[in-house]
Amino acid sequence: PLMVLDNELRIKTANPAFYQKFQVGPNETEGKKLFNLGAGQWDKPALRQLLFDILPHSTRMDNYHVEFDFPHLGPRAMMLSARKMPATSSSYESILLNIEDVTEQHQLEEYLRRAKQQAEEASRLKSEFLANISHEIRTPMTVILSSLQILAQTELDDQQAQCRDMALKSADSLLDLLDDLLDFSKIKADKVKIHSEPFDLRENIEDTVNILKPEA
């Protein structure tokens, strides 16, 4: 929708899109001051600032956001832009006013903002849960490891010793997994510290095989 205003902000003319959008006709608008249209819906401080500033100070104004409430449209968000048109021999300078309905765009932006906020909150809660459950599991795991270490000091036959060693390695692996979960929480909180250390690949593979051997 477009309309042309004179230097007293009276409506000189408008395009068909304006009349269709706001359900008015030329006889209801032309020659009338913009702020007197309808039931005063156009009398907005932001719009007044836009139009009163453009005449003496500038030739154009862009992207003024104004909230309107029209009887047939309901609450709408509009983006307004204005251009000052130079005077001619037969007319004074005038203003070309462009009106863009951005209600759906603003609703989508608000939906995305809330969705992002909910996703961030869910991620934060997940990280807190992982950290809390990891700490909770460490306590019984420490008891299991301590018991196995005490058991390692007793006389056992070969099969019992093998089971004890597998249980110790499995408990150590679980503790490493818990540490990884805690590291994951630290990553989410931007508090993780990366470091390098040597390891024996053969030993790691053998440990994994020994853990899976009974099931196999």
Single pTM value for the model? 0.49
DSSP string, the chain: -EEEE-TT-BEEEE-HHHHHHHT--HHHHTTSBGGGSTTTTT--HHHHHHHHHHHHH-SEEEEEEEEEEETTTEEEEEEEEEEEEPPBTTB--EEEEEEEE-HHHHHHHHHHHHHHHHHHHHHHHHHHHHHHHHHHHHHHHHHHHHHHHHHTTS---HHHHHHHHHHHHHHHHHHHHHHHHHHHHHHHTT----------HHHHHHHHHHHHTTT-
> How far, in Å, CA of 196 to CA of 194, rounded?
7
Write down the pLDDT at residue 198.
92
Here the tokens at position 197 are 């250390």
**What does each of the 216 residues of the chain score in pLDDT, given as a tens digit?**
888 888 788 888 889 998 888 888 888 888 888 887 777 777 877 777 777 776 566 677 777 777 777 777 778 888 888 888 877 766 677 888 888 888 888 889 889 999 999 988 888 888 778 778 777 887 888 888 888 888 888 888 888 888 888 888 888 888 888 777 777 767 766 666 778 889 899 998 988 888 788 778
**What's the pLDDT score for residue 11?**
87
Q: What does the pLDDT read at residue 141?
A: 81
The pLDDT assigned to 169 comes to 82
